[in-house]
Amino acid sequence: MMGVGLKLDDALAFWKAEFSHKVGAERFDKEYAYGIRHNYGKEGKRTDYTPYSCQKIISSTPGVGDHHGCPFRHFSEENLRAAIGKMGVGNRAMEDVIDKVRNRHYQLACTLTFEAVHGSSCDAGINHPNQYFIDSQKILQKGASQEQTGSKGDGTHTGLPALHQSKV
């Protein structure tokens, strides 16, 4: 999240709200807040870590109870269908995405999802979760700008390809 410009205080508030439902605020402060501050270079050896690429996320297996990873790689088909359906992906595009997943082409599945959500091609493909977010924001900002000038925008919403990455 740091890679897309989220400030440390905002990241701590976000993750605390997300994790407090399962682990409680006190446990979050003891077990998770340090790791987030560490990833931002504010604790430990104060190294500013680079967020993981899609390939790294795809090749890493979340542990039991972990809440991160590539949804195209780590979700069950049922959960993936539900997630991309909520993003507004239609039946035809959803079947194309699922076909890519079944053939272990996770980044192509992500790219197809991006294109279906935004109604815009992504010729370069998706190689990093931050790229997905940044390209989504460009499309949405272009759409908002066109709406202000009376033109029709083509963006809808971003969705999130790498849910709860371990490297924030």
Instruction: Give me the tens of pLDDT residue by residue for the chain, a chain 168 residues long.
Output: 676 778 888 989 988 888 877 888 888 888 888 888 888 888 778 776 778 899 999 998 877 777 678 999 999 999 999 999 999 999 999 999 999 999 999 999 999 999 999 999 998 899 999 999 999 999 988 877 777 666 554 444 445 555 444 444
CB 148 within 8 A of CB 160: no
105 & 146 share domain: yes
Instruction: Based on the fold, state whether residues 71 and 101 are members of the same structural domain.
Output: yes
Q: Are residues 34 and 111 in the same domain?
A: no
> Domain check: are 126 and 166 in the same one?
yes
Indicate the pTM of the whole model.
0.70
Q: Please give the pLDDT value at position 101.
A: 98
Question: Domain tally for the chain?
Answer: 2
**Which of 49, 64, 83 corresponds to the end of one domain?**
49
Both tokens assigned to 157 = 């919403």
DSSP string, the chain: -GGGT--HHHHHHHHHHHHHHHH-HHHHHHHTHHHHHHHTTSSTT---PPPPPHHHHHHS-PPTT---B-HHHHS-HHHHHHHHHHTT--HHHHHHHHHHHHTT-HHHHHHHHHHHHHTS--TT----HHHHHHHHHHHHHHHHHHHHTTPPP-------SSBT-S--
Task: Give the pLDDT of residue 86.
Answer: 95
- The answer to whether residues 23 and 64 belong to one domain is no
Please indicate, yes or no, whether residues 44 and 60 belong to a single structural domain of this protein.
no
Q: Is 104 left (phi over 0), alpha (psi -120 to 50) or beta?
A: left
Report the pLDDT value the prediction gives residue 38, as an integer from 0 to 100.
Answer: 85
* pLDDT value at residue 84: 96
User: What is the reported pLDDT for 154?
Assistant: 45
Residue-number span of the structural domain to which 22 is assigned: 1-49
69 & 109 share domain: yes
